[in-house]
Amino acid sequence: MTVESGPVLVECADTDAELFRRFYETVLAPSFPPAELVGRDEALAYYRAPASGGLGTIALLDGEPVAGALGSHYRASGILLLDYLATRAQARGRGLGSALIDRVRREWVPRERPVAVLAEVEDPGLHPVTPFGDPVARLRMYERTGWSLLPLAYFQPALAPGLPRVRGMFLLCLDPPGGTVPASAVTAFLDAYMTGCEGAEAARSDPEFLALREQATAFGADIPLWPLSRASEVHDR
């Protein structure tokens, strides 16, 4: 598959380790602060092994990585999390982000059959523009490509010991059927994600996590989804 400007989309499972390392170092690392990015060796082992639940697509231009999407299918919950979506600064504005989301929609979703596709995105009201990117521009891209907002004051768990949690985050949903997402799927995903990152004890007893989980269950069986125009209502300012 190609996009209008010429890049070719390839699956991470079909790439060699050296190409993935270049993708990590030239696309991912400049796009995400350390607290939001797993280590290179961990990413290399996980996203190139579909049996692990990892998924990935890289956009190549003249054989070099210029953009990519990485995801995790939490199969017990049915949630597919779009972990990372990034484009090199020099290649932005060429529709690569939209093309990668279309790849998720047309290939990942039919193959994996998740209950929902979610993504973590910084709240522009709480995260400024940095050398890693512009949260306002990112959120606009997600809005253009069909994402809705879970009304949860979300935070990203600490990805490794010594790293902080990332607060002031949104949890988005792609192409939600019926305008809701099952609360049971979301809570099962939250439990698995927290356990994998910070351990079972944190998932059982951490007050901040339990407060987030309570938000998800407060709606009953289904969590309503909001348009991204209501994003400013999610977090306390």
The predicted structure's pLDDT at residue 237: 57
Strands (DSSP E) contained in 175-221 are 180-182
Concatenate the DSSP letters of all residues of 117-151 into one string.
EEEEEE-TTTS--BTTB-HHHHHHHHHHTTEEE--
The predicted structure's pLDDT at residue 49: 84
The predicted structure's pLDDT at residue 51: 77
The predicted structure's pLDDT at residue 3: 43
Q: What is the pTM of this model?
A: 0.94
Start-end ranges of CATH 3.40.630.30 in the chain?
1-113
The predicted structure's pLDDT at residue 2: 41
Q: Which CATH architecture has domain 1-113?
A: 3-Layer(aba) Sandwich (3.40)
SS3 of the chain: helix, strand, coil, percent, to 5: 45, 25, 30
Q: Report the chain (237 residues): mean pLDDT per 10 consecutive residues.
A: 67 95 98 97 91 92 96 97 96 92 97 97 96 95 97 98 98 92 98 98 98 98 97 87
The tokens describing 44, both together, are 């290399």
